Amino acid sequence: MSIPNQAGRRKSRTVKQSAKDMAYQHISEQILRGTFAAGEFLDETELALAIGVSRTPVREALLRLQAERFIELLPRRGAQVRSITVSEMHEVYETRIMIESTAYSRICRAHRPIPSAARDLMAEMKAAGDSLDWPAYGQLDQRFHALLVQCADNSVMHHLYEILRPQHVRIAIRAIRESPGRRATIEREHERILDALAEGDDERAVIILREHLREVPEVVEALD
């Protein structure tokens, strides 16, 4: 397990960030970037040394990562980075469609405005894509969709959507990294979804959403 050393950068972090949060941020980022690959075992001691913390916050971070399905903690073997199966991937996208389509209906029914932050995220996505920063691109994609769900003003719905965040981001990163030619389509469909919601046409927004999400599992499945 090769671990980028973070100890030298500790002083640049905010004082308020706990050791557990530092460990979580570092490990999750390396999984998303592919530095820690699916199936790889993570060594607590090496992680602690690289991050510049004790083993206790690393263990706490690993427990959180297990709850978020980034890793599995195996008896007598330790922490292993989880693979996302094809079946799980399809389940994630089926659930996303259910939640997001309901959110779109609520937005249009209540005439809720879409905040300018949605277009700001689209601009950040474009910049990340231009610099080939696919991990950032995937995370911004999740934030864009999560923001629209949040606009539905249903805290339970938003909480359920956030549970899918780790899988959403990992799948999105893998798909765009392997098929960067989809960028233009992704960004155009985001624009079309916003236009449909602004016009109060939730049915059209959902049709675009289904088309938007349909290709991702197909792209990733073709890689396995």
How do residues 12-67 score in pLDDT, each as one tens digit? Answer: 444 457 999 999 999 999 999 889 999 999 999 999 999 999 999 999 999 999 99
How much is the mean pLDDT over the chain? 90
Residue 220 has pLDDT above 70, yes or no: no
**65-95 per-position pLDDT tens digit:** 999 999 999 998 999 999 988 888 889 999 9
Structural domains of the chain in order of their starting residue, each with its CATH number: 7-81 (1.10.10.10), 86-223 (1.20.120.530)
Angle between helices 19-33 and 55-67 (to 10 degrees): 50
pLDDT tens digits, 138-171? 999 999 999 999 999 999 999 999 999 999 999 9
100-132: pLDDT as tens digits: 999 999 999 999 999 999 999 999 999 999 999
Question: Are the C-beta atoms of 81 and 31 separated by less than 8 Å?
Answer: yes
Q: Contact at 8 Å (CB) between 100 and 148?
A: yes
Crossing angle of helices 55-67 and 44-51, in 10° steps, is 110
Percent of the chain with pLDDT over 70: 89
Cα separation, 62 vs 54, in Å, equals 13
| Total-model pTM | 0.84
